[in-house]
A and B are shown apart, each in its own frame.
Chain A
Amino acid sequence: MDQAHQRAIAVIAHIDHGKSTLSDRLLQLTGTVGAREMRAQYLDRMDLERERGITIKAAAVRMSYLAADGATYQINLIDTPGHVDFSYEVSRSLAACDGVLLLVDAAQGIEAQTLTNLYLAVDAGLEVIPILNKIDLPAAQPDKYAAEMAALIGCDESDVHRISAKTGEGVPELLEAIVARVPPPTGNPEAPLRALVFDSIYDTYRGVIAYMRVIDGRIRLSDPIRFMATGVEVDADEIGVMAPHLEPVPMLDTGEVGYLIAGIKEVRLAKVGDTVTALGAPASHPLPGYREPKPMVYAGIYPVDGDDFPLLRDALDKLKLNDAALVYEPESSTALGFGFRCGFLGLLHMEIVRERLEREFRLALIATAPSVAYEVELTEGATRVVRNPTEMPDGGSIASVHEPYVSAMIVTPSEYVGTVMQLCQGRRGELDEMHYLSPERVEIRYNMPLAEIIFDFFDQLKSQTKGYASLDYEPVGSKASSLVRVDVLLNQQPVDAFSTIVHRDKAYDYGKTMTERLRKLIPRQLFDVPIQAAIGSRIIARETVKAKRKDVLAKCYGGDVTRKRKLLERQKEGKRRMKQIGSVEVPQTAFIEALRLEADGSKP
């Protein structure tokens, strides 16, 4: 297909604002999916299915559209992941596009996440087509939100498409607008091949399936190719397009979007953002914008049952095949045994990995509180990166500690501005900017330590704004902070799993909360057990688990010695499974419970 008749677009939308339904209508109106085959959420369902024994991901769908001008256009609909943790992936998907559909629920207005992605699209110089969806809903306020969108992207309110993806109203006009307003690709067909990888997944049978857009030149079946960032050299065993089913093709031309299968065994060898070039006539420079995935959030992940450690290692190795951003290395904890310190793009990424480990590999896991990577400058001059609080050097040897900061963007109804500002300031946020999207809705930006966000900030934000506020954030470098390590000691012995790095002003709150929590979780021993929180050798909080005074079975009823012995054997078995912290016996469940409470957001 010649370049003039190609269009590549992505949909930017908040979850539930109707992206899947709009995709359904586009597939239908373009005849890509026939009436008999059509089901609601068509592309989402494809993700879950397998075709020809290959895992399908509807990362990009090719549609043929016969436009009003009588010409047939090839419209490529490229999927974008919808969360802040994957903003780099979003940026690569957008880099493969010529325009975006900004899809907003006419009853909800634009959300923080959508704004971030919109800004990414605008920065990338993409044509933005604003759309209000669900205009058929009784609660829709299209005029209000059209004004908001027009103000945001600097267009006229009348340029905002008003559609109902559900009924199809306004969608034909939208298709015309895509053809009319989104520019065709501008690559050079005669230049050496440069194809941008914007997604890649791992399939057990075929290896990696890389989704890409040919920016310059063309790629042919069996061409020897090279991934420029990783240096991997392979042959293009299969190239093809999704329309929406996988269709092998002999060639992908300049501007076309398709997939590549080349016997690659791990996604980290065909990373998102990499450039594919031909070995025969290689490009001199890769496409701009490639970045190594950088973990932002770290946590220790441990099997609840220590015997599962090898299973956990195998599971992580398998996940890694399909997740280039996941990093992990073994670590051990006196409280939790053997596990892994894992690095994630963000909290959602952490949740996804953990969920997959638990669901797909049936592992019972416990995670330590998430932390960030601190840069510690030592007085002797060296710099050390601390990803686990226990690695934090002693206060005396530290010259300064830098922690990662993010720019947090919150979109909230204006009545909650005070609440949101209070919350952010309580998390060491510094107001960056604030502007009204409309009289009722405000976009607020704070610079905040990432560490303050990764605990329960999102939950707090949601609960304090009755669910109305939305959050997005992006890294903005690091800053020196007054940070200290708080240790938790059990009968004078530090418990590594509870060490944490917090701002000096919050150390007391953390210490108090953890000692109180542990006092309730640690079973009474035959002696008083002090639970202390300390910064270095300075105790900042203390609780005591009083010695137990009664632990004896009352009687031996009717000569039932068996029952008595079983009760005691169970008690002994419980003892066997306890961790010995110094002279204190602590059931593993106490550590797990304390960490769970922490994860549930009861952190100060």
Chain B
Amino acid sequence: MIATAPLFNRSGGWLADPGFGVYVHIPFCLHRCHYCDFNTYEGQDSLFELYVDALVTEIERWAGATRPPTSIFFGGGTPTLLAARDLRRILEAITRRMGLSPGAEVSIECNPETVDEPKFEALLAAGFNRFSIGIQSLMPHVLRGLGRTHSAERALESLAAARRAGVADLNADLIYGSPWERPEDWARSLEGVLGEQPDHVSAYALTVEERTPLHTLVATGRVRDVDPDVQAERHALADECFGKAGYERYEVSNWCLPGRASAHNLLYWSAGDYLGFGAGAHGHLDGRRWWTVKLPREFISAVARGACTEEGAEVLDHEQRGPEALMLGLRLASGIDVGAFNARFGDGCLSDRAGVISDIVGAGLLEQSGSHLRLAPGATMVANEVICRLL
């Protein structure tokens, strides 16, 4: 067990010590969105109680390494589809089993339909201190296209309700570049969300994932495919609007007010360690990445049998960890701190790639600035091109 981590740095930069995280997956939704390929299921209300029990047991019996978490993240699915007391039970199981670092960020994803002021209050009381609301759009026809069943008003109201309940750390999730979205739609969604002054905004380009209703619609020509050029324009518009409103982009798709970056997010991008609990959750400890069985029923029965819930794992050797960390770290606007990166992953990773790196720097896609190596501002939206050359 390592001594308590210092108060977390949430400036948004790459972290030499990313802390320790816990991810909890709640694989249930009221309604599955058309674009969603996440591990989530509708109409399994009868499993909620068993699932919460299984999660608590799984957390309690965790035998691997732990530290008091610097961040905990409840994702889904729709975590807030569960009652606040259930969510509290799970959170308490974690803190009981592994403690909690002072100043830790405890986030939960919320769907506007499943939260109101009393629920926020209950969750705050349970220990959650950062709330991430899936707004996605404020235009009815875009929401309809995406398969969101809430109204724009309800989405805005959930942000306001969070504030009224006393939420100090509020994130809004947005999706841009969907086939239904006109340029003015995106501008209006941005404007509407900024009106609520969230602390943090994640804006993701819609991706048409295989095995989703949206994919079928696109594949059969009933819905236009997304246009990457349009998405690049929408990203630029978002960056401009957020910038004017005082937000900084600290990662490809994430903007925040100063000091309000998501610790859990930074932990991912800084190649940190985290445990993953629940069906289809992913974890990472010191180069070992694993994931659990995806079906809630299987997860429940495995726990009940006292069996392992792990479905698969991979162990990255020293040669693989550096490039992966590079892949993650370059997504951050700060890039990586070269000295600290070398200290964590050895200097072979960067020195072996010195030639390629200098070519890419020469092409104006990477820049070396002081102690940091980062994507050139113009290269953010073509990061894959840069990163895959470095793998």
Q: A551-B381, A554-B253, A572-B388 are in contact. Are A559 and B282 (CB under 8 A)?
A: yes
Interface bits B333-363 vs A (CB < 8 Å: 1, else 0): 0000000000000000000000000000001
For B384, the chain A residues whose CB sits under 8 A away are 551-553, 568, 571
Q: How far is the CA of A14 from the CA of B68 in the complex (A)?
A: 86
Partner of A550, one of B204, B365, B381: B381
Point out the residue from A548, A550, A558, A562 that lies within 8 Å of B289, measured CB to CB. Answer: A562
Known pairs A549-B229, A559-B282; list 16 more (Cβ under 8 Å): A549-B233, A550-B228, A550-B235, A551-B383, A552-B252, A552-B381, A552-B384, A553-B207, A553-B383, A556-B328, A557-B38, A561-B282, A562-B282, A569-B391, A571-B388, A572-B389
- A residues bordering B, Cβ < 8 Å? 526, 546, 548-562, 564-565, 568-569, 571-572, 575
- Nearest A residue to B379, CB-CB: A526
Q: Is the CB of A526 within 8 A of B382?
A: yes
A560 touches B253 (CB 8 A): no
Residues B380 and A552 in contact, CB atoms below 8 Å apart: yes
**In chain A, what residue has the closest Cβ to B276?**
A559
Asked if B205 and A568 sit within 8 Å, CB to CB, the answer is no
Bound-complex Cα distance A565 to B324 (A): 7
Complex-state Cα separation, A39 to B327, whole angstroms = 68
- Grouping DSSP codes into helix (H, G, I), strand (E, B) and loop, the B interface class, with mixed when no group exceeds half, is mixed
User: Given the complex of chains A and B, what is the CA–CA distance between A554 and B384 in angstroms?
Assistant: 11
Q: A558-B280, A559-B268 are in contact. Are A565 and B327 (CB under 8 A)?
A: yes
Is B274 located at the chain interface by the 8 A CB criterion? Answer: yes
Contact call B381/A558, Cβ cutoff below 8 A = no
Residues from chain B with Cβ under 8 Å of A552 in the complex: 205, 252, 380-384
Chain A residue nearest in CB terms to B76: A558
Check: B158 CB closer than 8 A to any chain A CB.
no
3 interchain residue pairs of minimum CB distance: A549-B232, A550-B228, A572-B388
The verdict on B314 contacting chain A, using a C-beta distance below 8 Å, is: yes
Q: Chain B: residues with CB nearer than 8 A to chain A?
A: 21, 23, 25, 38-39, 75, 202, 204-207, 228-229, 231-233, 235, 252-253, 268-269, 274, 276, 280-284, 289, 291, 314, 324, 327-328, 363, 365, 380-385, 387-389, 391
Find out whether the CB atom of A550 lies under 8 angstroms from the CB atom of B202: no
Task: Select which of B204, B253, B283, B327 is within 8 A of A559 by beta carbon.
Answer: B283
Cross-chain contact B23 with A551 (CB below 8 angstroms): no
A554–B252 CA distance with the chains assembled, in angstroms: 8
CB distance from B211 to the nearest CB of A (A): 14
Q: How far is the CA of A252 from the CA of B231 in the complex (A)?
A: 82
Question: Please, how many angstroms separate the alpha-carbon atoms of A560 and B39 in the complex?
Answer: 11
Q: Is the CB of A558 within 8 A of B75?
A: yes
Check A550 against B327 for contact (C-beta < 8 Å): no
Cβ contacts A to B, 19 pairs, < 8 Å? A548-B382, A549-B229, A549-B232, A550-B205, A550-B231, A550-B381, A550-B382, A551-B383, A551-B384, A551-B385, A552-B382, A552-B383, A554-B206, A558-B281, A559-B21, A561-B284, A561-B324, A562-B289, A571-B384
Q: B271: shortest Cβ distance to chain A, in Å? A: 8
Are B291 and A560 in contact, CB atoms less than 8 angstroms apart? yes
Q: Which residues of A contact B380 (CB under 8 A)?
A: 552
CA–CA, A565 to B365, complex, Å?
A: 20
* B253 CB contacts on chain A under 8 angstroms: 554-555
CB closest residue in chain B, given A572: B388
Partner of B38, one of A548, A553, A558, A571: A558
Closest A residue to B254 using CB positions: A555
A557: chain B residues within 8 A (beta carbon): 38
Q: Which residues of A contact B385 (CB under 8 A)?
A: 526, 548, 551
Q: Is the CB of B389 within 8 A of A575?
A: yes
Interchain pairs with CB closer than 8 A, number: 99
Nearest-neighbour CB distance to chain B for A81, whole angstroms, equals 46
Assess A550 versus B232: contact at CB under 8 Å? Given A557-B38, A560-B291: yes
Say whether A558 contacts B391, CB under 8 Å. Answer: no
CB-defined contacts of B274 to chain A, threshold 8 Å = 559
Residues of A within 8 A of B389 (CB): 572, 575
Known: A526-B365, A551-B383, A554-B253. A561 touches B289 (CB 8 A): yes
| Complex Cα–Cα for A568 and B206 (A) | 18
Please give, as numbers and ranges, the residues of chain A lying within 8 Å of B228 by CB-CB distance.
548-551
B75, B232, B281, B387: which contacts A568 (Cβ < 8 A)?
B387
Chain B's closest residue to A547 (CB) is B382
A326 to chain B, nearest CB (A): 43
- For residue B328, which residue of chain A has the nearest CB? A561
The answer to whether B229 touches A550 (Cβ under 8 A) is: yes
Please measure, in the bound complex, the distance between the C-alpha atom of A575 and the C-alpha atom of B387, giving whole angstroms.
Answer: 12
Q: Which residue of A lies closest to B382 (CB)?
A: A551
Bound Cα distance from A555 to B75, whole angstroms: 13
Do B229 and A562 have beta carbons less than 8 Å apart? Answer: no
A28 to B202, CA, bound (A): 84
Q: Is the CB of B25 within 8 A of A558?
A: yes
Give every chain A residue within 8 A of B235 (Cβ-Cβ): 550
Instruction: Report A95 CB to chain B, min CB distance, Å.
Output: 59
Chain A, Cβ-Cβ closest to B234: A550
Tell me which residues across on chain A come within 8 A of B327, comparing CB atoms. Answer: 564-565, 568
Q: CA separation between A140 and B34, bound complex, in Å?
A: 60
B-chain residues with CB within 8 Å of residue A553 when the two chains form the complex? 207, 383-384
A561 adjacent to B382 (CB under 8 Å)? no
Rounded to whole Å, the gap between the CB of A47 and the closest CB of chain B is: 45
Q: A residues within 8 A CB of B381?
A: 549-552
Q: Which has the most chain B C-beta neighbours within 10 Å: A558, A560, A568?
A: A558
Q: Cβ of A571: which chain B residues have Cβ within 8 Å of it?
A: 384, 388
CB distance from A42 to the nearest CB of B (A): 50
Q: Residues of B contacting A561 with CB < 8 Å?
A: 268, 282, 284, 289, 324, 328
The interface centre, meaning the residue of A549, A550, A565 with most chain B CB atoms within 10 A of its CB, is A550
Question: Given the complex of chains A and B, what is the CA–CA distance between A546 and B388 in angstroms?
Answer: 21
Closest Cβ of chain B to A565, distance in Å, is 6
Q: How far is the CA of A572 from the CA of B391 in the complex (A)?
A: 8
Taken together as a complex, chains A and B put the C-alpha atoms of A302 and B175 apart, in Å, by: 46
For the complex, give the distance between the alpha carbons of A553 and B384 in Å. Answer: 7
How near does chain A come to B54, taking the closest CB pair, in angstroms? 18
Contacts of A549 in B (CB 8 A): 228-229, 232-233, 381-382
In the assembled complex, the Cα of A310 lies from the Cα of B231 at a distance in Å of: 46
Q: Determine the distance from Cα of A572 to Cα of B280 in the docked complex, in whole angstroms.
A: 27
Evaluate contact between B204 and A555: CB separation under 8 angstroms.
yes
Interface-centre pick from B233, B284, B365, B387 (highest chain A CB count, 10 A) = B387
Residue of B nearest to A549 (CB): B232
Q: How far is the CB of B214 from chain A (nearest CB, A)?
A: 14
Question: Which residues does chain A contribute within 8 Å of B268, judged by CB atoms?
Answer: 556, 559, 561
CB atoms of A568 and B388 under 8 A apart: yes
CA of A552 to CA of B391 in the docked complex: distance in angstroms? Answer: 15
For A556, A564, A575, the residue with the greatest tally of chain B CB atoms inside 10 Å of its CB is A556
Who on chain A is nearest to B290 by CB?
A: A562
Least Cβ distance of A550 to chain B in Å?
Answer: 4
A42 to B360, CA, bound (A): 69
- Give the complex CA separation of A270 and B283 in angstroms: 72
Residues of A within 8 A of B363 (CB): 526
Residue of B nearest to A552 (CB): B383
- CA–CA, A100 to B61, complex, Å? 92
Beta-carbon nearest neighbor of B227 in chain A: A550
Shortest distance between the CB of A580 and any CB in chain B (Å): 13
A558 to chain B, nearest CB (A): 5
In the complex, are the beta carbons of B388 and A554 less than 8 A apart? no
Residues in chain A near residue B276, CB distance under 8 A: 558-559
Which residues of the other chain, B, contact A562 by a CB distance below 8 angstroms?
Answer: 282, 289, 291, 314
B23→A558 contact, CB < 8 A? yes
The chain B residue sitting closest to A576, CB to CB, is: B388
- For residue A565, which residues in chain B have a CB less than 8 angstroms away from its CB? 324, 327, 391
**B23 and A559 form a contact (CB under 8 A):** yes
Bound CA–CA A449/B36 (angstroms): 58
Which residues of chain B are near A560, meaning CB under 8 Å?
282, 291
Partner of A554, one of B21, B207, B289: B207
Given that A559-B276, A561-B268 are known contacts, is A554 also in contact with B229, CB under 8 Å in the complex? no
- Output the residue of B21, B202, B283, B388 with the most chain A CB within 10 A: B388
Q: With both chains docked as a complex, state the minimum distance between the C-beta of B364 and any C-beta of chain A, in angstroms.
A: 9
